[in-house]
Structure 1
Amino acid sequence: MARSTQKGSNLKTAGYNIDNADHLARKLIKHTSQYHLDDGYPDGRLAPLTDLSRAYRTQLRAGNQYVRLGYGDPKGSIWLREELCTYFAETRGLNITSENILITRGTIMGLYLVSTALLKPGDNIVIGDLGWTGANMNFLQAGANVIKIPVDGHGIIVDELREICRVKPIRMVYVTPHHNYPTTVALRADRRMQLLQLAKEFDFIVFEDDYDYDFHYQNKPLQPLAGADVTGHVLYCGSFTKAIAPAFRIGYLVGPENVIQRLATLRRIVDRQGDNLVENAVAELLQLGIIQKHVRKSLRAYHERRDLFCELLKYHLQDKVDFKMPEGGMALWATFDQSINIYDLQKQALARDIYINDGSGQFTRQSAEQSLRLGFASSTVTELEYIAETLGKLTSCQVSLK
């Protein structure tokens, strides 16, 4: 039989059937533009790479190599979990032990493990509308029914949740209370307490995604829901992705010991364990206070960038965009005037080497179709000045053409 000369000609389509998974269809964003208003990413140029590199080299050389380079606990490095206990007590008011922590490769992995281990097909999951596509995808993959409740200027409307709980069983509520994704608003204190009370009364899980707790500019931030949870209903999840860089895949999931153990048994068949060398390197940086110092440095830089970006938008775009200065986080929620075609604006900006978040990470109500998250933290002051000036010119051209 003659051998095909076309390389890979038989590898494009499987010889067997595979089901479509429309809920997993999401564009992979990997832009290379010099300038960007992303979804709210940190500036990797500020990352403590020298300290991290030194700590990693130490982990490669020091101690018993068989132990250091062998298999470890699926829950993660015990050193890192112990350091996180101290860090969370000092910064978030959490009173936990290492057995309450599972190290993950990021929030998305925590969501996947929880959705797979604790949800069953047909379970009802409540999320805010507006919300995060990544969380929604996990719940749909688990076969859950997703129920959306409105978000206003003070977070999810808990009264709506109460009405739903009265007519149908709720298995889990997913929230981003510190800075709602994508709108950046904080869940008001009274709503937080109402949410915890409802979790106790109706026996549902609260998945608290605290993706950027360290970055709050106005006042001292409200402590996580997990800090006020005395009944074991809250699962608290976060990562160092926003504190350091997206490529840095160290996350954490905090919850009752029996839940953490259950999730660890699942993690073992998905991803036997994390990277012990990196986890121990981070533990060393936490122990030495280097991570804490980096967060304080980043906070000052992002605070300055937020203030400047808001001023620049007001100056260059004037009445073409409406927004409220966010109290924290790495992005602002901007609503463009109806005269602006956002899709055209994104294309025109890209032609000038500026990437504008396309909104694929967020699902929104129809009334918010003119709104986008605009990340400012990953750009320097000079870069933000160029971006805002260029957007001002582009939006003026769009309006004049109309």
Structure 2
Amino acid sequence: MSSPVIFPYKKLISIDPEEDAPVYLQIAQRMSHLIRNGHLPANHKLPGTRTLSELLGVHRKTVVAAFNELEMQGWIIVLPNKGCFIKNKRAEAVTGQLVSFPAVTGFSIATNTLLESTPDPVSSRISFDDGQPDIRLAYAEQLAARYSAALSRKINRRLWGYQPGGENIFFKNQLTNFLNSTRGLRAAPKNIVSTRGTEMNLYLAAQTLLSANDWVIVGNPSYHKANMVFQQAGAILKPVPVDHNGIDVDAIKRICKRQSVKMVYITPHYHYPTTVSLSTERRLQLLELSYRFGFIILEDDYDYDFSFNSNAELPLGSIDNKGMVVSVGSFCKTLAPGFRTGFIVAPENLVKEINKLKAVVDANGDLMMEQVLGEMIAEGEILRHLKKTHQIYRDRRDHFCNHLNKILHSTIDFKLPQGGLAVWLPFRTRLNLSAVAKTCRAGGLHLPATLLFQTRDLTAIRLGFAAFNEAESIAALQTLHNAITAQRI
């Protein structure tokens, strides 16, 4: 039985002095509503009139009158020397059963299978990911200190409320400078939408740019969440091959000659999931095809800040002169996955349309965190942090790949990634990857289903290395090796 302290009577039995009904009747009505909806179940013992009057802040005689009303209506029963109880038969007659919150709606809804994903709970002591940064290297202490300082400044209190357009102008200016200096984009603040990360970038772009039955070309394989978002917008996906030079531009050309294409989605810097870079020749060819056939290039450089090759290409948006490229990115890997700040860079007229949708789904964003990030950019802290983690991740890549080559050299056919935080691992022979993941789990290693790529022609795994130190990567790879070996026996 719930005690008066445990059950929130004061919260659930509200008294409105402006209401015409007497206070005792308001209490009786609120309590009968709680009984009908099962919050006060059958046989539940009510607190004494003195206790309840203190909880509700009313006179004891008011509670006595409320209990008398409930007793007359048949909701409660008063047992001498025992107390007041919710009447069993009355509750059952009204509710039919002791109820809880409804499991399903009382109306029909459409089930969305496109966006459906099954949670993959992590129960193992160590887990692979698809290329996430190590949260132990996150800028936590500096962020906390800066956030606290930003909150304490009186000038920043304006950011606690709604801002015109939901924008932090200081942050937009600093972000513009950062993107122009690191990516050569030649943008102005009016060309930038601040967002909550990659998935929001894709959603806003898809909902703004795509209509039902629009054709969208993606790589094969491609980023599954992007595919889901495009299909949810009504688009028809057309996968094209990806080889060691990136997405097959000749295949795109052949499709465009026979079919109107609305958009091509690419991850050119390090293709997801294969990590290959789109070659200079293909970048120029793709841009020319966009001008010729009029399709949008949605450029997602999710791993741009982690290039280990000094000759890395700039984004296509930096060489686009006709407004055909929409570039998206985020700081979620620069700092930590939970740090949800991203951006869309596009011509001004498209930015205006995207902002209309953003104003509905995320009217104000996180203006205070944007203030902090803007200060970190202005003072060079972001670049210093990137320089520090860049070397750490490069060392981890080398150690991970060297050990990978030692224990699985006869099974795999992979190339050292020139950037990004993951390795693409195609197998020379077919394996049951689901069985491999199950064996890994038994050995204390979590291998999420989203990292497994298995079709009739492909058996591959995408393995993130950045979140592991040397000892952890050896342990993870040894467990993976044991699981693969068990499959081959």
TM-score strictly above 0.5: yes
Return the alpha-carbon distance in structure 2 between the equivalents of residues 199 and 340 of structure 1. Answer: 39
Structure 1 stretches (4+) deviating beyond 4 angstroms?
Answer: 362-365
List gaps (5 residues or longer) in structure 1. Answer: none
Aligned residues with identical type, % of pairs: 36
Q: Does 1:279 align with 2:361?
A: no
Q: Which residue of 2 aligns with 1:367?
A: 457
Q: 2:469 aligns with which of 372, 380, 383?
A: 380
Q: 1:308 aligns with which of 377, 399, 403?
A: 399
Aligned Cα root-mean-square deviation (Å): 1.7
The one of 145, 149, 162 aligned to 1:54? 145
Uncovered stretches (5+) of structure 2, i.e. residues with no partner: 1-92
Residues 75 and 264 of structure 1 are in contact (CA less than 8 Å); yes or no, is this contact kept in structure 2? no
Alignment of 1:106-117 (within 5 A): 106-117=197-208
Residue 233, structure 1, aligned to residue 324, structure 2: yes
Distance (Å, rounded) in 2 between the aligned partners of 1:387 and 1:157: 34
Q: Structure 2 vs 1, CA of residues 141 and 363 (structure 1 numbering), >3 Å: closer, same or farther?
A: farther
Task: Provide the C-alpha distance between the structure 1 equivalents of 2:278 and 2:239, rounded to a whole number of angstroms.
Answer: 16
Deviation at 1:73, TM superposition (A): 4.4
Structure 2 residue 187 is matched with structure 1 residue 96: yes
Q: Which has the bigger relative contact order, CA under 8 A and spacing at least 6?
A: 1
Q: Indicate if the aligned counterparts of 1:357 and 1:373 stay in contact, CA closer than 8 A.
A: no
- Give how far 1:24 is off: 1.2
Q: Does 1:5 align with 2:98?
A: yes
The verdict on how the C-alpha distance between 1:209 and 1:79 changes in structure 2, with shifts beyond 3 A counting, is same
The Cα shift of 1:337 comes to: 4.5
CA apart distance, 1:20: 2.4
Q: 1:43 to 1:244 in 2, by over 3 A?
A: same
TM-score for both structures, normalised by structure 1: 0.94
Aligned to 1:167: 258
Q: Work out whether 1:258 is the aligned partner of 2:370.
A: no
Structure 2 CA distance for partners of 1:213 and 1:33, relative to 1, 3 Å: same
Q: Say whether the 8 Å CA contact 2:217–2:239 is kept in structure 1.
A: yes
Q: Tell me which residue corresponds to 1:224.
A: 315
The residue that corresponds to 1:351 in the other structure is 442
The 3 A distance-change label for structure 1 pair 298 and 286 is same
Equivalent position to 1:243, from 318, 322, 334: 334
- Deviation string for 1:135-158 (max 9, x for gaps)? 111111111111111111111111
C-alpha distance in structure 2 between counterparts of 1:7 and 1:337, whole Å: 54
Amino acid at match of 1:5: L
Task: Give 1:138's match in structure 2, choosing from 214, 229, 233.
Answer: 229
Matched, 1:181 2:272: yes
The one-letter code of the counterpart of 1:22 is: T
Q: Measure, in 1, the Cα distance between the counterparts of 2:123 and 2:337.
A: 15
In the TM superposition, residue 168 of structure 1 has moved relative to its aligned partner by: 1.6
1:101 deviation in Å?
A: 0.6
Which one-letter code corresponds to 1:383 in the other structure? Answer: E
